[in-house]
Structure 1
Amino acid sequence: MKAKERKAFIKQFVDEQGKVEIDELAEQLQVSQMTIRRDLTQLEAENQVIRTPGGAVPQKALIRETPYARKEVEQLQAKRKIAQKAIALIAPNSTILLDSGTTTLEVARLIKDRADLTVVTNDIKIAAELVHSSVTCIVTGGEVQPDVGALYGSQAQALIESIHVDLFLLGAHAVHAVSGIMAPTLEKARMKQLMIEAARETWLLCDSSKFEQKSFAHVSELNKVEGIITDKDQSLNGLEYYHETVIQVDLVE
């Protein structure tokens, strides 16, 4: 089978199966795994598939901004479990940055009685959650993104550039093994980049649906974060390819 025919077969097979492994393709086509890796690399460069640790998934449309009402209910159990694990990272008397998003909102709900903490956030929904709490809350200011409640723009960026914090809990719209952490807009990506720079330590909090996805704007390479907290998903393999420190929470106890 010629290379062109082989790649056409791989593309069709990936589209039909939804997710395939390199060893499976090598066996199907009776070629080396190195040949399959090379084919997958070329197919990804042509936007035909998305490479994953050990295989590939179909090329999907870029993940755009999700309506907030949908984000509030999607993967809710996973987000709550991730938040519960994340609060163990918050040391006494620390100052933390909470990224805008529904997973970090769950973190805010769990730390409301922590009078020793100072929280800086670019999310008015998180700020509203902390209004009647013991936490000292600082809001970045800036322009409000309609519906979502995230704050961005020069005023928000200036505040972040003027501070240094102990811990940043970062959210992501998409996480890709090669492209790294991604956001749906340039403004959100820039805010996240500045927050990473402002923090002594950054942890990525994201449910398993965010992996093997791409969005519009690059935020950071995965090696810029201390670790990742996500949920266990049987269909998600090879997380060590993303980062050497991945904490997976079990949704069933």
Structure 2
Amino acid sequence: MQPNERRNVILGKLNENEKIDIDALAAELNVSAMTIRRDLNYLEEQKQIIRTLGGAILNKSLVEESSFSTKEGKHSSEKQRIAKKAAELVQERFTVLLDSGTTTLEIAKLLKNRRNLTVVTNDIKIAAELMDSEVKVILTGGEMQNNIGALFGPITEQILLNLHVDLFFLGAHAVHHQVGVTAPALEKAYIKKLMIKSAQATWLVADSSKLDQKAFAKVCELKALTGIISDSGIANYYPHELPELLEVVAAEEEA
């Protein structure tokens, strides 16, 4: 089989399965794993695939980050229902870590009337929302991302390395059952990884528009999370695969 034929076979398999394994493909095509790696390197140079550990996925359009003002009005009713389900998990005297984002901001709005609660966040809008409440607020500090309001960088990282919280609500730009949770930038992905490590339990809060999407930087596999809270649209995505990886909660519309 010529290299071009072999690469077309690889692309065909990716269209069918979304992900391939180097060793399995080498055995199936009766070539060395090094030959498959060379093929994958070529296809990646042509921007047709994205290399992963031990394999590859198709290079579908990656999700880029939008400004806060752009995201704020999108899927607002779904985010509010998700926030309501999330707030039900917060017990008295909990320390809660809220990731930056519009869905986590909705959670903050529901927690602002609580007492005996500590909220840690890297989002200045969440901190401002809780400013006049009785909630104890810890802002991580760090460099602010303009037009977003998220804090990141060495100062943020150092704070997170020294924290342990009861509950973390993780926001996401993109969620895929095979790729996992991804973010638009390496710096933001690293902050989210540190947040997950600092938490006793991590719940992903993401409306269904974020599902079946991929962004640039890997945050974690879905099996690393406690569960996901989404809207009723989640039933259209991986109905069998997701429950095998984590707990799934769908925030249904109220009758």
Q: Name the TM-score, length of structure 2 as normaliser.
A: 0.77
1:91 offset after TM fit, Å?
Answer: 1.3
1:178 offset after TM fit, Å?
Answer: 1.2
Aligned match for 1:247, one of 238, 243, 249: 249
Q: What is the 5 A alignment of 1:67-82? A: 67-82=67-82
Aligned to 2:129: 129
Distance 1:75 1:81 in 2: 10
Q: What is the 5 A alignment of 1:153-168? A: 153-168=153-168
> 1:239, 1:246 within 8 Å by CA — same for their partners in 2?
no
Aligned to 2:237: 237
Deviations 1:18-46 (A, max 9, x none): xxxxxxxxxxxxxxxxxx54xx546xx76
1:60 offset after TM fit, Å?
Answer: 3.5
Distance 1:5 1:223 in 2: 32
Q: Name the TM-score, length of structure 1 as normaliser.
A: 0.78
Q: Secondary structure at the match of 2:202?
A: strand
1:244 offset after TM fit, Å?
Answer: 3.6
Distance 1:218 1:8 in 2: 22
Aligned to 1:23: none
1:241 offset after TM fit, Å?
Answer: 1.2
Q: What is the 5 A alignment of 1:33-44? A: 36-37=16-17, 40-41=18-19
1:9 offset after TM fit, Å?
Answer: 8.8
Q: Identify unmatched segments of 5+ residues in structure 2.
A: 21-39, 51-57
Aligned to 2:187: 187
Q: Secondary structure at the match of 1:169?
A: strand
Q: Identify unmatched segments of 5+ residues in structure 1.
A: 15-35, 51-57
> 2:92, 2:115 within 8 Å by CA — same for their partners in 1?
no
Paired amino acid for 1:250: E
Distance 1:131 1:89 in 2: 22
Q: What is the 5 A alignment of 1:190-201? A: 190-201=190-201
Q: Secondary structure at the match of 1:116?
A: coil
1:251 offset after TM fit, Å?
Answer: 2.7
Change (3 A) 1:94 1:133: same
Change (3 A) 1:221 1:9: closer
1:121 offset after TM fit, Å?
Answer: 0.2
Give the total of aligned pairs: 218
Coordinate RMSD, CA, aligned: 2.6
> 1:240, 1:246 within 8 Å by CA — same for their partners in 2?
no
Distance 1:8 1:60 in 2: 12
Aligned to 1:55: none
Paired amino acid for 1:108: A
